[in-house]
Structure 1
Amino acid sequence: MECTYEEGEKEDLLTFTRSGVKGTLLVDAHQFEMKAQLGFLFGAFKDRIEAEIGEQLDALLNAPHPGARKPAAGKKKPAAEADAAKPAPKTTAKPAAKARKA
């Protein structure tokens, strides 16, 4: 798959293409927006492709930060720290995959 990445002031743009698929992914501080045009063969798998992309993004967004430190066993955090350590609300990106008509 060929990809080009353009970093913008307020949002970044990833453009991707390969045989049977082309599209864009816009990313800003609050959301992802994916648009994909699927060729005839990939169009038959649109629902599965969309579900897989959503699952992968959910897993990546909910994964612990690699540099995050785990609290020591047996120690409780003060309430203010505990609230600050809560993960951000779950974000689900719903890609807009469109089948191309022949």
Structure 2
Amino acid sequence: MSDVKFQQNHTLGLPKARELAKKWAEGPAQKMGLSCTHTEGADEDTIAFERSGINGTMKVTGTSFDIDIKLGMMMKAFKPMIEAEISKGFGRMIDKASGTDQA
């Protein structure tokens, strides 16, 4: 069972969502020390990620990003912060990609 479940709906379509997911895996995920593996599919991509104390997957479709994360014992204390950062980061990323970024 996941410790953190997050879903962010969007209207970007799969090609743009795939591009954003790749940027996340190459940027913010690496900065957090996550090792990522990206698998492309016809209708859905999967990014598997892990580091000490964290492992999870992100399913990328034309209409949503679905994230499931399993936290190790020491990382469970950071669950609220992790949830907040995911929500804020993906919201900002999607807003910017769709042209609704206010910054």
Tell me the TM-score normalised to structure 2 length: 0.61
Distance 1:29 1:63 in 2: 17
Please state if 1:62 is matched with 2:95.
yes
Provide the alpha-carbon RMSD of the alignment: 1.6
SS of residue in 2 equivalent to 1:44 = helix
Bigger radius of gyration = 1
Please state if 1:22 is matched with 2:55.
yes
SS of residue in 1 equivalent to 2:47 = strand
Residue of 35, 38, 57 corresponding to 1:2: 35
Distance 2:96 2:78 in 1: 27
Greater helix share, structure number: 2
Tell me the TM-score normalised to structure 1 length: 0.61
Distance 1:7 1:31 in 2: 15
SS of residue in 2 equivalent to 1:10 = coil
* Stretches (4+) displaced over 2 A: none
The equivalences for 1:29-48 within 5 A come to: 29-48=62-81
The residue aligned with 2:4 is none
Structure 2, unpaired ranges of 5+? 1-33
